[in-house]
Structure 1
Amino acid sequence: MGYSADMKAAIGATRHVLTTLGLDGFASKEHGEHVPDLDAPLVMVACSGGRDSLALSYVASKVCAMMGLRCGAIIIDHGLIAGSDTVAEHAAQTCTEFGMNPVITQRVQVGNTGAGTEADARFARYQALWHIAREHNCKVVLMAHTKDDQAETVMMGVLRTVGLDALLGMPQYNDRGGIVFARPLLELTREQTTQICKEQQIEWWDDPTNGEQADEGGLSTDLPLRSRIRVALLPYLNHFVHADMVEHLSRSSVLAQRDYEYLQQQAQQLTEQLLVTGDSARAKWQQEGTVAVLDAKALEQEHPAMSMRVIVNMLHACNIPATSKQIEAIGQLLTNWHGQGDVWINQHTVVGRQGHPSLLVVVQQ
């Protein structure tokens, strides 16, 4: 029996991602599945035991077999929900039945940074995925985020921040220290991954914090923001505008990412022209603790859309996080300069406009 349309779409999307990353040409010219060489590249899937990641695990095991690649799975147990070890064990067993090897399960300790449980769990998860991938010489980790996840991420960005960056969502490819995290299912919906699991008789686990099992009208405000968006806000917007908001938001993210990439390329070139760091900066502006210097006079001639990104790039180069309000205040040193005081980023870092020629100086005390 041939594959369904949903399965074909998932296979095509996964194969496209792996080919884009240069992981083709490892299979013989014969069609069908192949036993990969022991030294063939290893692709690993981050599997939670949910429908999306189990569907991707199944699809990736088939695609890698077609392409002559090794395919493994990583199951991260956050230990935040009772019975999480049982869920991890079932996911590992299922992936093993798919023929994936290696299948690695790891329990992680989720810290408390004040950013929220969801953010802390995500940080711990990516740290573990990265270390496991590096340990096994795996260059690509596949993530099972779907079009629905992308729409939810965009909506979270709209609610939490401002500007173009709020619309970006998740990139399809993200290089983290030499390990590429790729998302092949961003053009597939959660309904499609559900259908793949049903067709292949794959049993999945539904995370109760997703809120999908909540009774109508009984949605708890204690659920994570993403879950409230998924269960309450997006269905309401679909009804309100009589349109598919998942499709609308996910397509918006594609266009926003294209514009963002162009602006970033232009801003990076300009930053490299105007930014001086380290010893050279201290030589140019003799002040103890100086870590970065920008030519403010030249930068204030640029369009605000560009100058603000240069400021962000400058702070990023110095590994200094800043809020949008702080960045706007630094921008005022360029566009509305009238001798105002410095902008404090934190208790140790200050940005000010000083000297002749006019310079934008970052000082850490």
Structure 2
Amino acid sequence: MARRALGHATLTLVQAVETALADSDRCLLVACSGGPDSLALAQAVVHVGRRRQLPIAAVVVDHGLQAGSAEQAAAASSSLARMGFTQVSVRPVEVIDSGAGPEGDARTARYRALELEAGERGGATVLLGHTRDDQAETVLLGLARGSGIRSLAGMAVRNGPDGRWLRPLLGIGRKVTEQACRENGLKPWQDPHNLDPAYARVRVRRTVLPMLEAELGPGVADALARTAMLARDDADLLDALAAEADPGTAALDCLQLESLPPALRRRMLARWLRLEHGLGDLSAGHLFAVDALLTDWHGQSGVDLPGGVRVRRANGGLHLG
């Protein structure tokens, strides 16, 4: 029997997945919450996997953060099985309070589970259902934090260990994934957390972006997504230049750093703090305070950073202790 022709939205998602894949992607693992974005992505992956004769699998992460989460994870698993996935895993995780906030802690637990699942499947490529709207929200949140160009770069289409995380839908709006669900008779789950204004991302999604669209005209989400792409190119270049200039020493030479342009100097400081002491999530205030040890040195005793780390200037160098 002939297969039913794909609807316009579904075809758009299939083409996006096809375009994003590389020859090194030998096994496709869809991370599915049961929401419209990840369900629509999973449906597209079924078509791509069949055409390319690639093994496909799916994983549902149960964060256990609300009543009925196990039942919802089981329902998502059943939807995936009906869709054509023969290998579906449900991974319960424990979300540990690390001080990063509920969203950050849940994300940490989720990515750890996805990495374990991908490893058990021979290093599968993990496909994530983030859309252009998610990218626009991420850029606005980064802008509000004021933490530099890297935070404006949003999410990469591909990143993570060995390029394992793949986000093929970053150029596609959420309305398309919702339409794809309707075309395929899929009944997505609506996470109640996505309606809770206690979360900053929800306020951006439901209040800030609609207000910007109303006041500035349509296309704001598209413009923010383009901003992310341009900012990522700039941030990647600065990261590469900082890596080339890195002396590879435990202490940094103050005179050498002072001669560098501010953007490169601060990128080198951020790289040094990350590599030497794992400080990857510094605020702009912390970074400026360390930079002042070079540009506004008047005998300060040092700068205290998270985790009990202290940066001090002594003998013409910056030292961590």
Class of the TM-score when normalised by the shorter of the 2 chains:
over 0.9
| Higher alpha-carbon Rg | 1
Corresponding residue for 1:214? none
Contact 2:10 2:40 in 1 (8 A): no
In the TM superposition, what is the alpha-carbon distance from 1:121 to its structure 2 partner? 0.9
2-structure distance, mates of 1:267, 1:199: 48
Query: Would the alpha carbon gap of residues 221 and 102 (structure 1) be closer, same or farther in structure 2, given more than 3 Å must change?
Result: closer
Q: For residues 310-353 of structure 1, give each alpha carbon's deviation from its aligned partner in whole angstroms, at most 9, with x where no partner exists.
A: 00010111134233212111111222223332212247422122
* Cα separation, 1, equivalents of 2:307 and 2:192: 41
Q: TM-score, normalised by structure 2?
A: 0.94
RMSD in angstroms over aligned alpha carbons?
1.6
The question of whether the paired residues in 1 share the 8 Å contact of 2:147 and 2:283 is answered with: no
Where structure 2 has 5 or more consecutive residues not aligned to the other structure, the ranges are: none
The separation in 2 between residues aligned to 1:165 and 1:237, in whole angstroms, is: 23
Q: Distance in 1 between matches of 2:102 and 2:56?
A: 31
C-alpha deviation, 1:138, in angstroms: 3.2
- Give the C-alpha shift of residue 179 in structure 1: 6.4
Matches within 5 A, 1:108-257: 108-176=93-161, 178=162, 180-211=164-195, 221-222=197-198, 224-257=199-232
Q: Within 5 Å, which residues of 2 pair with 1:22-37?
A: 22-23=24-25
CA distance in 2, matches of 1:91, 1:157: 31
Query: Which digits, 9 at most, give the CA deviation of each residue in 1:125-183, with x for residues without a partner?
Result: 1111111111121331000000011111111111223321231111111123x460110
Q: Which of 248, 263, 284 in structure 1 is aligned with 2:238? A: 263
3-state SS of paired residue (1:145): coil
Q: Deviations over 1:174-227 (max 9, x none)?
A: 123x4601100001111000111100111111111211xxxxxxxx643x1111
Structure 2 residue 23 is matched with structure 1 residue 50: no
| 1:17 corresponding residue in structure 2 | 20
- Correspondence for 1:299 among 246, 249, 257: 257
Match of 1:68 in 2: 53
Q: How does the TM-score come out when normalised to structure 1?
A: 0.83
SS at match of 2:230: helix
State how far apart, in whole Å, the 1-side matches of 2:233 and 2:108 are: 26
User: C-alpha separation between the residues in 1 aligned to 2:158 and 2:239?
Assistant: 16
Q: CA deviation at 1:124?
A: 0.8
2:160 is paired with a residue of what secondary structure? strand
- State the match for 2:270 in structure 1: 312
Q: List runs of 5+ in structure 1 lacking aligned partners.
A: 24-40, 212-219, 277-291
2:285 alignment partner in structure 1: 325
CA distance in 1, matches of 2:307, 2:12: 52
Residues matched between the structures, number = 316
Larger relative helix fraction: 2
SS at match of 1:229: helix
Aligned to 1:289: none
**Contact in 1 for aligned 2:40/2:180 (Cα 8 Å):** yes
Q: Which moved more, 1:153-162 or 1:120-129?
A: 153-162
Distance 1:266 1:190 in 2: 36
